[in-house]
Structure 1
């Protein structure tokens, strides 16, 4: 077996897969009530959601980064720092940090600081950006989309593995025996770093070649349509000489639970559609969302029994070690977030964990 140079997340699935929530920090009008939060109210809601997730016994909470109108997550690391101070036990991750348009040194400084504040609970999910306006905003060329990501992720991983770094690349000034501080307070002095992958097969393979965990986020469709990504990841890891059993996989998707499945879809679709219109400039096809009633769909919306069935099916397909759901897209109220978390904690998560124990 190839020696593992990267620090990996400590995920114990003897009690079932890890379960958590993620937010991208969108801020839009609630389509049911016509109420739109202020930016402060939305940030406060995200912090409260993290506290509620911890109180419900969830394993992880994740905040993504976006730099466009209708979002409050431009400085997602600062929000995560506030959550680190407010919570005690839940793991915290970025999801994703757009490493392509960020300086890896600065990302590491911020992440290591949050790890110290949280007593060792922080992880980085590094992504490429699904909303590409960030490239113009932060002064990068979209033509360099792939090259920027690969180079900067390589530097971030090197910083993570080495207290002193000598490095040279195309898109930033070289480092010569540079010391990047602070360092996490653990034996390795490093952090778990995941690679976020959408639908790119090469990206999944590159995660395996680097020997880092795979994070997959989906909007819709049958789970089976994405199996090739996790299969390619694990097959490549084996060819590279890694112990595939030590490389975690995480999946993410829409999540919304109500006592009645039809009501769940009726309530959450307007939120998802509004969120998509404001973030991506196009609606989410209603018929495609309705196909989420199929237990093989990646859209984890429904009553508790349907959502449990979906997650267990997805576990058969992907063998994921961690699942995180997005319950707050499109102006969902705090009361509705609380209802979802309560149903997850009392009905869904215990059953999913019971049936995914290893």
Structure 2
């Protein structure tokens, strides 16, 4: 069971002071967070790609590269790379470079993108949303298999017998499929034999179990061994020393962040009642003391089959020292308990 962190590098106004941190300062903070996550024994850190004012990371590979030579063990991934509006050749080169700098710890989490700002920015038509991803994913997978590429598609100029460099340390460079719970994307990942990341950020996490089963059936149908495939969860949360304090610290930034997105997408108001329901044992918000968060992650593993858990923190803007403490607690208290109890549970299952 792998435990890690994900971030969109938010730069929303602080809910208490009204001040907005600069993109530059927040980027430097994230590098410090990655270094700490490595030091406390977390397995993975993911940075999401966005192209809007309230998120600072339009180039996850660059952010991760800034931490690569300051870390030793932690895996470094996008969360996600909006592949539909990107050039797969450049994506591959960026993450192959990251893989070299980190000595084989880079990963690409490819998605179609739930935010659409990158499409007009890079001259892509939203009417081609699905076709763009399909074609660019095929090219990305071909790039990691062969040093010299010949390729022709609909949306990108053709490539004739061209070498693509640098080559990564890992062969092949890991590519994950990110999904918000769409059955089509889950089946795609299974048929391709690629690891799957589910954004479990609402409702009841247990409801995602059928999607994991569908993914495994698709993988088996295509001749892949489902037992060798990894399923991850990307979920919002926060860890604090004391239950009540953690709950209160995380509420207002979360409410602010969710209501900004909600107004854009026509969601209902994110209230305290919504928050409290989400942090219940059956909800999708992983917030509270180390014991509370560990218990919910363990339940997610048992109920859904998740083998990698990414805690997305912060959701809005929070003080850097509070985020650092949450990372420390996740690595030193939550992760060891989760790994130990899951190992014991799996051993009992095997008997």
Query: What RMSD over aligned residues (CA atoms) do the two structures have, in Å?
Result: 1.6
Using the alignment, how far apart are the partners of 1:184 and 1:280 within structure 2? 39
8 A contact 2:37–2:328 mirrored in 1: no
Range with greater deviation from structure 2 (76-85 or 43-52) = 76-85
Aligned residue number for residue 22 of structure 2: 38
Which residues in structure 2 correspond to 1:11-50 (within 5 Å)? Answer: 17-50=1-34
Using the alignment, how far apart are the partners of 1:129 and 1:286 within structure 2? 28
The answer on 1:210 being equivalent to 2:192 is yes
Q: Give structure 1 stretches of 5+ with no counterpart.
A: 1-16
Aligned residue number for residue 95 of structure 1: 79
Shift of 1:285: 4.0
Instruction: Render the CA deviation track for 1:219-254: whole Å, top value 9, x for unaligned.
Output: 222111222211110111111111111111111101
Which residues in structure 2 correspond to 1:1-358 (within 5 Å)? Answer: 17-186=1-170, 188=171, 190-279=172-261, 281=263, 284-357=270-343, 358=346
Q: Give structure 2 stretches of 5+ with no counterpart.
A: 347-351
Instruction: Render the CA deviation track for 1:168-223: whole Å, top value 9, x for unaligned.
Output: 2111112222211110134x3x3010000112011100101111110111222211
Question: Which structure has the higher relative contact order (CA within 8 Å, separation 6+)?
Answer: 1
Shift of 1:59: 0.8
Shift of 1:335: 1.1
Secondary structure of 2:69's match?
helix
Using the alignment, how far apart are the partners of 1:72 and 1:325 within structure 2? 19
8 A contact 1:28–1:278 mirrored in 2: no
Instruction: Render the CA deviation track for 1:239-275: whole Å, top value 9, x for unaligned.
Output: 1111111111111101212244343222212111222
Using the alignment, how far apart are the partners of 2:132 and 2:159 within structure 1? 17
Q: Where does structure 1 differ by over 4 angstroms across 4 or more consecutive aligned residues?
A: none
The size of the alignment, in residue pairs, is 340
Using the alignment, how far apart are the partners of 2:128 and 2:10 within structure 1? 26
Shift of 1:325: 0.6
- Compute the TM-score of the two structures, normalised by the length of structure 1: 0.91
- Compute the TM-score of the two structures, normalised by the length of structure 2: 0.92
Shift of 1:31: 1.0
Using the alignment, how far apart are the partners of 1:66 and 1:20 within structure 2? 20
